[in-house]
């Protein structure tokens, strides 16, 4: 499948917020869903670089947000119907200087599917910690 990775447009904001809200509620079933809100997307991506993944028909499949100063991948979220079809890989490959650059992220331990995705793309566990949503592991990608 062919994916287009582009900057977000004003008309994407509602869909991006919906993806963020719905995927969090569906994935993080161990967290009270009342803790997730539509306005979280704007607040949690403030100051970050957002990459939008669009399907061939133009619909938004998902997004990745990056805190460039720390090479930190803050979020990668995909609508369920697009998961497992290469959209996440396309978002990673769109990162500046991928795969010659080191990136890192935090992945909740209970989010086994996400961890498997990152490990399959060359990330390695390099640390751990705790957050309000649960324990996490820091994963790092080292240049090839």
Query: pLDDT tens for residues 73-123?
Result: 999 999 999 999 999 999 999 999 999 999 999 999 999 999 999 999 999
Task: Report the sign of the C-alpha dihedral through residues 27, 102, 47, 10, in that order.
Answer: negative
Q: In 10 A of CB 35, how many CB atoms?
A: 12
pLDDT score for 25 = 84
SS3 for 52?
Answer: strand
Q: Provide the pLDDT confidence category of residue 143 given band limits of 50, 70 and 90.
A: confident
Among 142, 88, 140, 95, smallest CA distance to 114 is for 88
Contacts of 44 (CB under 8 A, 6+ apart): 20, 65, 74, 75
Query: pLDDT tens for residues 18-52?
Result: 999 888 888 888 888 788 988 999 999 999 999 99
Structural domain containing residue 29:
3-141
Domain count of the fold of the chain? 1
* CATH, residue 23: 3.40.630.30
């Amino acid at each position: 499948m062919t994916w287009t990775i582009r900057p977000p447009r004003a008309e994407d904001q509602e869909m991006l917020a919906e993806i963020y809200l719905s995927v969090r509620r569906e994935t993080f079933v161990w967290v009270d869903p009342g803790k997730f809100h539509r306005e979280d997307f704007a607040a949690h991506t403030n100051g970050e670089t957002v990459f939008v993944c669009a399907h061939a028909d133009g619909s938004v499949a998902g997004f990745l947000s990056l805190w460039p100063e720390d090479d930190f991948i803050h979020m990668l979220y995909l609508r369920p119907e697009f998961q497992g079809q290469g959209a996440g890989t396309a978002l990673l490959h769109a990162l500046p200087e991928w795969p010659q650059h080191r990136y890192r992220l935090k992945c909740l331990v209970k989010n086994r599917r996400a961890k498997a995705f990152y490990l399959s793309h060359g990330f390695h566990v390099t640390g751990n910690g705790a957050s309000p949503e649960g324990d996490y592991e820091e994963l790092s990608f080292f240049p090839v």
